Structure 1
Amino acid sequence: MTIGARAVIRDDGGRVLLIRRNDNGRWALPAGTMELGQTLRDCAIREVYEETGLSATAVTPFALYSGEQLHTNVFGATYQHVSLAVRVDSWTGDLLRETDETLDAAFYPPGEFPEDLSGAVRPTLADLARFESGDPFTLA
């Protein structure tokens, strides 16, 4: 079992920030695994900073994913990942296009995402849209 967080960051024009992961080359939301003694909120904030250079100053949780979050690592071990999704409500700083964990980062309009997109991006954004329209927190 692993536990972590993913973050949705939008600019004033509604574009979504995606990072190109250096481990698999796919475009994804900023995300990662919680460190020992860390809260999920702090995990989301740390991952945003590590992968984008941006400092999230306020976040709102809107979904928790667990069930079918099965993955196999490079060593062939299967694990289940539990991930909290948060909306970044405010942030400061300048976007870094490349970090130790990312090959690129950019804001994209939702209808113009890159082809090599992580499978979690669209469902996460759909859950955020439902949450923002008044539906309850997603627990999946």
Structure 2
Amino acid sequence: MALTWAESYLGKVRASIGDSDTIFFVGARGVVLDDQNRLLLIQRSDNRRWAIPAGAMELGESMEECAIREVWEETGLRATSLTPFAFYSAYTFTNDYGHTYQQVLMSFRIHTWEGELLRQTDESVDAGFFPLDALPGPHSFVIDETLHDLASFEATGRLVLK
């Protein structure tokens, strides 16, 4: 069972220090492309934007475990093989709730998974695989950058660091 925001590590930290200070957001993102090179996206329940499955780490987790858990919580799919391709640590963003974070996040390419795709979960109102040239909108601003970084990694074999 997924934790509520208030039960999560990030929710507890945010509640402890308030809404105005910038804090670290440490997490992971899971990029799933099917055998037709379609991208798995979820439509988030909080802001209705289409996004790559992702989220914050919990205490005791590795970034890889975080990616596996987030993809599972948001799609019902359990990643069985994944490779890190990009590490982000220089970005600061403010979310729709006015909370500002400096992101420390690893992106993983998920090669294999098991389970059946759930179109709705506690964190998503829809999900599906979409052709790269026909992604639904509105969508998260990080999708294009993440796909570019994955292509760079696949071309060079070097982890993208930003």
> Which structure carries more relative contact order (alpha carbon 8 Å, separation 6+)?
1
Aligned residue-pair number: 139
Task: Classify the secondary structure of the residue corresponding to 2:74.
Answer: helix
Percent of aligned pairs sharing the same letter:
50
Corresponding residue for 2:28?
A: 5
Q: 2:107 aligns with which of 68, 77, 85?
A: 85
Unaligned runs of 5+ in 2: 1-23
Amino acid at match of 1:87: R
**2:42 counterpart (8, 14, 19):** 19
Q: Is the Cα–Cα contact under 8 Å of residues 92 and 100 in structure 2 kept in the other structure?
A: no
**TM-score normalised by structure 2 residue count:** 0.82
Aligned to 1:33: 56
Shift of the alpha carbon at 1:69?
A: 3.1
Distance (Å, rounded) in 2 between the aligned partners of 1:63 and 1:93: 26
1:48 matched to which residue of 2?
Answer: 71
The one-letter amino acid paired with 1:80 is Q
TM-score where L is the length of structure 1: 0.95
Per-residue Cα deviation, 1:29-88 (whole angstroms, up to 9, x for no partner): 0000000110000000000100000010011000011212322452x3322121100000
How far 1:135 sits from its partner (Å)? 4.6
Flag the structure with larger Rg.
2
How is 1:68-107 mapped onto 2 (pairs within 5 angstroms)?
68-72=91-95, 74=97, 76-107=98-129
Instruction: Give the one of 61, 72, 77 matched to 2:84.
Output: 61
Q: Which runs of no fewer than 5 residues in structure 1 stay unpaired?
A: none
